Structure 1
Amino acid sequence: MKPAAQPCTTLASVSDFTAYFGFPPPAHPLLTVIDLGRHRKPPVSGTVWRGLYIVSLKKNLKGMLRYGHRIYDFNEGVLAFFAPGQVCMADASVDTSALEGWMLVFHPDLLLRHPLGKRIGSYGFFSYQLNEALHLSAREEGLLGALFGQLHEEHQQPIDAFSQDVLVSQIDALLSYANRFYHRQFLTRRAAEHDLLSRFEELLTGYFARDDQDQPLPTVQHFADELHVSPAYLSDMLRTLTGQTTQQHLHHALIEKAKRLLLTTSLTVNETAFQLGFEYPQYFSRLFKNKTGLTPAAFRFSAQ
């Protein structure tokens, strides 16, 4: 018998969020800033869909802390990011009795008419859901804590014609600093990330070493799943350490294998495309020319 699906609570507004978790009602209809040290609440078990942006700075959270599905001994503050549409599973076993920090919750409508509304999608950390968090030094934690404090004070002011502009500018500054610290993280966790890079390269080499007739085109999602990280995290890590995204690595390996097939087999260009997993040979020819400057046929002829 198929097990029943777990119920999922929908939190579509800031008011929904504060009511569900037992926080004070929001002072602004589209945003709230919660001082977690003053409003400690036991975790609420259950699956939740949230139509909101959430940025939380937490410390002294007692329980297992995982980063990219791996456990790290890192006791400083942890900054986590959630985007609208993401589903979260809460765990009531975590001890929040000594929790400190801040939580910013805002509705996407707050960013309408502001450039940040378009730019926020470029911040990769919002796509990580529960897989990766940003680990902060004491100095970084203090700086971001001050920004959260400014947001907290501003959002409690009476709403006027300038309120939304001021709040969005403060969020913009907070995310800009987070982006700086996020890219620093790849350098301070170099050993762990280089291990991830080595495993990615091993998987990539193994994938293209096969000559399966029905091998599909490789995807970023496939390698991210194999490495137990999100696609955005994998691409950002590779870009930081190698200067190329995951897709660029895949294209490079794909073209190198195509060259080998063109020069060492009697396969036609169309057969080569099918061998590589392309459904349409013309797409293979376009990609090959884009990456090498030659069509597959011209490349084969030039090597004779």
Structure 2
Amino acid sequence: MKHPAKEFQVLNTVTDYARFYGLPAPAHPLLTVIDLDYARCLPRVATPVVQQLYTVALKRGLKGGTIYYGRQSYDFREGVLFFLGPGQVFAADETLDVSQIEGLMLVFHPDLLLKHPLGKKIGSFGFFSYQANEALHLSAKEEDLLKNLLQGIRAEYELPIDAFSQDVLVAQLDVLLSYANRFYHRQFLTRRTAGHDLLTRFEALLTGYFAREAEQPLPSVQYFADSLHVSPAYLSDMLRSLTGQNTQQHIHHHLIEKAKRLLLTTSLSINETAFQLGFEYPQYFTRLFKSKTGQTPAAFRFSAQ
């Protein structure tokens, strides 16, 4: 039985995010810090959003309604800090009350991290996965600490960009996420994960597969379906209904993100990169990479130098 189709708005860049929500144009192409009290007077957006971005929000004053993250609700009302990861669905119902919201929200693109160790480490942070479905509780002192870090990130990207800008921004972001990881583990260390949810298990399986360093074959839809004990058609229908993308599209997204990291952090040739990723023919890798990014692997590597 097929799942009913849904309309999804895909936000691929920080600029897309700002335009969609009616926010000021970002001062930096790969990240922005937003004052949440600005959202009080913005028009409501009910369309489910798939954002290929990371979000860290430090908020107070959000009332009523429900936020949906994937297929389940996200309990944001009591906690202060919450997170959203790339490629995942976010939606809010019409009863959500933002009239008293305040705080700061950081939105950043994965490409910001590609040349840095944080680009690899961020995949290990459980608070960006579907397993995290409630906001974190913070003390007043912890909240002030994170607020100062967010304000420091904004102060840095508002300076003229120079050869050190990205390194400084990523270093500040690393500190912010390290504190978040400490607070996350303190709150959820003894809790069981939502391991029985098919979407959660698929996400964990996909992330784990592409985190491996060794050369390995390209994963197929059949591989993930077999691992999850469902049919390929059911898996793709389920993913499409919940995220707007089928299984192959999820595989390609993770594949391209790993390819970007290899291109920018190793000295492998284009052909060697293709073989490392599991392609039998490098020209197929080049064709897929260009179709997803608009650039050949060689052009992408050159443009990032």
Q: Which residue of 2 aligns with 1:105?
A: 107
Q: 1:122 to 1:73 in 2, by over 3 A?
A: closer
Give the 3-state SS of the residue equivalent to 1:224 in structure 2: coil
Q: Which residue of 2 aligns with 1:9?
A: 9
RMSD over aligned CA atoms reads 3.5
- AA aligned to 1:114 is H
Query: How far apart in 2 are the matches of 1:109 and 1:71?
Result: 27
Q: Which of residues 119, 122, 126 is equivalent to 2:121?
A: 119
- AA aligned to 1:54 is T
Q: Does the 8 Å contact 1:86/1:129 carry over to 2?
A: no
Q: Which residue of 1 aligns with 2:239?
A: none
Number of aligned residue pairs: give it: 202
Give the 3-state SS of the residue equivalent to 1:98 in structure 2: coil
Q: 1:186 to 1:152 in 2, by over 3 A?
A: same
The answer as to 2:37 corresponding to 1:37 is yes
Q: Which residue of 1 aligns with 2:64?
A: 63
Q: Provide Cα deviations, 1:18-47, integer angstroms capped at 9, x if missing partner.
A: 000111110001111101124533541111
Query: How far apart in 1 are the matches of 2:131 and 2:99?
Result: 24
Q: Provide Cα deviations, 1:42-98, integer angstroms capped at 9, x if missing partner.
A: 5411111111111111111011578996897974x5211111111112323211111
Give the 3-state SS of the residue equivalent to 1:57 in structure 2: strand
Q: 1:5 to 1:73 in 2, by over 3 A?
A: closer
Q: Does the 8 Å contact 1:18/1:24 carry over to 2?
A: yes
Q: Does the 8 Å contact 2:51/2:88 carry over to 1?
A: yes
Q: Which residue of 2 aligns with 1:224?
A: 196
Q: 1:112 to 1:70 in 2, by over 3 A?
A: closer
The alignment's TM-score, normalised by the length of structure 2, stands at 0.58
Q: Provide Cα deviations, 1:241-266, integer angstroms capped at 9, x if missing partner.
A: xxxxxxxxxxxxxxxxxxxxxxxxxx
Q: Provide Cα deviations, 1:174-211, integer angstroms capped at 9, x if missing partner.
A: 00000111111136xx7xx4xxx6xxxxxxxxxxxxxx
Q: Which residue of 2 aligns with 1:292?
A: none
Q: Tell me the percent identity.
A: 56
The alignment's TM-score, normalised by the length of structure 1, stands at 0.58
Query: How far apart in 2 are the matches of 1:116 and 1:107?
Result: 13
- AA aligned to 1:46 is T
Note the residue ranges of structure 2 that are not aligned, 5 or more in a row: 205-228, 230-305
CA apart distance, 1:135: 2.1
Note the residue ranges of structure 1 that are not aligned, 5 or more in a row: 198-219, 235-276, 278-304
Pair member with larger Rg: 1
Q: Provide Cα deviations, 1:221-243, integer angstroms capped at 9, x if missing partner.
A: 7x5339xx9569x9xxxxxxxxx
Q: Which residue of 2 aligns with 1:182?
A: 184
Within 5 A, what are the aligned runs for 1:159-174? 159-174=161-176
